[in-house]
């Protein structure tokens, strides 16, 4: 079984008066809103009296942080938080959870990160040859080593981060807390989302805008690719690394990872998915009775398909909200078990009907096959599978959880063969052209290499 890459959620808040707003509790609530981005572990680091304190553990946000744990972190003037899922089941432990707390000659630093470095192995080897000691296999630890090294050559943490960015290639959205400052940084390609918001008098940074809205605040703007932002009581202070790079937000953020109520780089996730569904419908010639979306990330596309096709939208699948997302389960066995209890077909809705089933993607095909079987077992006369993304053909090196190419359903198979694999009556993917058109409102460019093989930076050979 191929190992999965990290996909995480990050958050940070600067609180002018800890008596008016609790920084740790604010981060706790924000992580709740970002829970969809990782369910293996959660952590919060706070700054209180200039000192950094950390609590992290495996589990969901409410499992890791009870009333006592949050009370132990109270009185802080800043906090950063992280939700994560692991490469595999063996990594479900506190040691690899984030934030990462580092104590070094220039002062303490806590760091949380979302993404994947392409040159992580090279950077680690370089650090080890200089005497660097690593305790985990995470990129977060590699990044911390580089920032600490650069901090010894500079006066501030933000200068150290700017220097470090010249060495790091790949995807990284960082939030860093030291004894004086809260800093957010986004890689020059902008692979992973990161934005700035305001909650009352507090400035925040988060992976997605839904975190601010959950706190009763609002999004102010995205962190630009290559930008380092220091969040102060008076507002954000911006620096830019000035590295020429092709902007490449991960398309899968819009297709699957992000919550539909988020806005990323100027594009509403919900509206993007609706438009993808509409474009699917315009190229479809299938006659059907109802359109059914796969909860949750397939629902918006299904609604768009129904609007454009005139075929009624129906709730044909019921989701158990207490089961984690199957795509980010560490093992295939866990994914299959989760699907069995996660979704149930509504027989009264689909029985005897020709069903158009809309999902966000087909990765390995096992979940798709299970969905088709669920509908057939509940009496659906036909099941026509519509995918609101192009076929996955290539590996991702930037943090999206795509397995080895040999495990991708579309790799080495025709569309008809994939249709047979999942047991559907017909299969239709969104075209690359339509996906790009649906994302045309992005302020910066996007990466679709997993569909096209067109990578924005050089990637490792031999994969």
> Taking the alpha carbons of 122, 114, 226, 250 in that order, is the dihedral positive or negative?
positive
pLDDT of residue 330: 55
pLDDT of residue 248: 97
418-460: per-residue pLDDT in tens?
Answer: 999 999 999 999 999 999 999 999 999 999 999 999 999 999 8
Confirm if 182 and 23 have CB atoms less than 8 A apart: no
pTM, two decimals, is: 0.92
Residue 13 in tokens = 């808040």
Average pLDDT across the chain, whole number: 92
Residue with tokens 């432990």: 93
135-148: per-residue pLDDT in tens?
Answer: 887 899 999 999 99
Report CA-CA distances (Å) from 266 to 10, 33, 221, 224, 426. Answer: 19, 20, 9, 11, 34
Whether 340 shows a pLDDT value over 80: the answer reads: no
pLDDT of residue 87: 46
148-200: per-residue pLDDT in tens?
Answer: 999 999 999 999 999 999 999 999 999 999 999 999 999 999 999 999 999 99
Q: Are strands 426-429 and 382-387 parallel, antiparallel or unpaired?
A: parallel
pLDDT of residue 350: 98
Closest of 103, 145, 105 to residue 128, by C-alpha: 145
User: For the chain, how big is the Rg over CA atoms in Å?
Assistant: 22
Closest of 142, 240, 256 to residue 190, by C-alpha: 240
Note if 8 is an active site residue. Answer: yes
Domains and CATH numbers, the chain: 9-245 (3.60.20.10), 271-439 (3.40.50.2020)
Confirm if 100 and 141 have CB atoms less than 8 A apart: yes
206-257: per-residue pLDDT in tens?
Answer: 999 999 999 999 999 999 999 999 999 889 999 999 999 999 999 999 999 9
Q: Could you say which of 8, 210, 396, 450 is catalytic?
A: 8
Confirm if 42 and 82 have CB atoms less than 8 A apart: yes
Residue 350 in tokens = 């689909």
- Looking at per-residue pLDDT, the higher value among 278 and 155 belongs to 278
């Amino acid at each position: 079984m191929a190992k999965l890459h990290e996909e995480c959620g990050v958050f940070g808040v600067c609180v002018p008066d800890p008596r008016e707003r609790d920084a740790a509790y604010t981060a706790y609530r924000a992580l709740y809103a970002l829970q969809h981005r990782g369910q293996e572990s959660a952590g919060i680091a706070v700054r209180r009296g200039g000192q950094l304190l950390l609590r992290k553990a495996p589990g969901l946000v409410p499992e890791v942080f009870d009333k006592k744990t949050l009370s132990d972190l109270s009185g802080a003037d800043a906090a950063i938080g992280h939700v994560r899922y692991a490469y595999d089941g063996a990594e479900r432990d506190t040691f690899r959870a984030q934030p990462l707390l580092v104590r070094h000659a220039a002062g303490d630093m806590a760091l949380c990160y979302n993404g994947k470095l392409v040159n992580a192995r090279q950077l680690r080897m370089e650090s080890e040859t200089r005497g660097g000691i690593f305790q985990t296999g995470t990129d977060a630890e590699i990044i911390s080593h580089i920032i600490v090294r650069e901090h010894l050559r500079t006066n501030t943490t933000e200068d150290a981060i700017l220097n470090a960015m010249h060495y790091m290639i790949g995807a990284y959205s960082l939030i860093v807390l030291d004894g004086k400052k809260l800093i957010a940084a986004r890689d020059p390609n902008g692979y992973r989302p990161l934005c700035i918001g305001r909650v009352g008098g507090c400035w925040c940074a988060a992976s997605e805008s839904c975190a601010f809205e959950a706190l009763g605040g609002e999004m102010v703007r995205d962190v630009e690719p290559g930008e380092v932002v220091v969040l102060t009581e008076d507002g954000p202070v911006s620096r830019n690394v000035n590295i020429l790079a092709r902007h490449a937000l991960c398309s899968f953020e819009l297709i699957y990872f992000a919550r539909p109520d988020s806005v990323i780089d100027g594009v509403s996730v919900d509206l993007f998915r609706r438009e993808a569904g509409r474009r699917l419908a315009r190229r479809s010639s299938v006659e059907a009775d109802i359109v059914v979306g796969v909860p949750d990330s397939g629902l918006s596309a299904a609604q768009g398909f129904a609007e454009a096709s005139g075929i009624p939208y129906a709730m044909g699948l019921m989701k158990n909200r207490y089961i984690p997302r199957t795509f980010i389960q560490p093992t295939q066995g866990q994914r299959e078990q989760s699907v069995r209890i996660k979704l149930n077909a509504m027989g009264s809705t689909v029985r005897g009907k020709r069903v158009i089933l809309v999902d966000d993607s087909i990765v390995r095909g096992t979940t798709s096959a299970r969905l088709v079987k669920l509908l057939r077992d509940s009496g659906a006369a036909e099941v026509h599978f519509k995918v609101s993304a192009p076929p996955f053909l290539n590996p991702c090196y930037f943090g999206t959880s795509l397995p080895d190419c040999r495990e991708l359903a579309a790799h080495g198979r025709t569309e008809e063969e994939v249709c047979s694999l999942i047991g559907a009556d017909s299969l239709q993917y969104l075209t690359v052209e339509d996906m790009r058109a649906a994302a045309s409102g992005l302020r910066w460019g996007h990466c679709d290499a997993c569909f096209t093989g067109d990578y924005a930076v050089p990637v490792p050979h031999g994969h």
